Amino acid sequence: MVNKRTKSEQVSTKVRQVEVLIGQGMPRLDRIRKTGVMEQTFYRWKKRCGPAGKDQLKELKRLRKENERSSKAVCDRRLGKLILAETAKGNV
């Protein structure tokens, strides 16, 4: 079975569609099913992106990538220091 991932922009669009249907007075389960997603998936998406717009989601994605790169850089420096420390111990 192929695991299909939905893009952040699509997620925010579907969450907004449900919010619009809420304003129209449609029953809760019907408005979620009308967007073509399962109830549990919708609530997970809503928790993740909430009322955020596309621009906010793109910025969040960019910040997460930057944070990941920074964490890797810190780990690489720590590893380098450990290697130098062990090498220095062998030369004493």
Domain count, the chain: 2
Name the residue range of residue 26's domain. Answer: 8-52
How many angstroms separate the Cα of 69 from the Cα of each of 61, 75, 79, 91?
Answer: 13, 10, 15, 33
Buried b (16+ CB within 10 A) or exposed e, 67-92: eeeeeeeeeeeeeeeeeeeeeeeeee
- Establish if 19 belongs to a structural domain: yes
- Collapse the DSSP code of 24 into the 3-class scheme (helix H, G, I; strand E, B; otherwise coil) and give the result: coil
Residues 46 and 12 reside in one and the same domain? yes
Residue 66: the pLDDT is: 92
- Establish if 12 belongs to a structural domain: yes
pTM of the model: 0.43
Q: Tens place of pLDDT for every residue, the chain, 92 residues?
A: 555 666 767 777 777 777 777 777 778 788 778 778 888 888 887 777 666 566 777 787 888 899 999 998 898 888 888 888 888 887 65
Residues 43 and 69 reside in one and the same domain? no
Query: Tokens representing 29?
Result: 């389960």
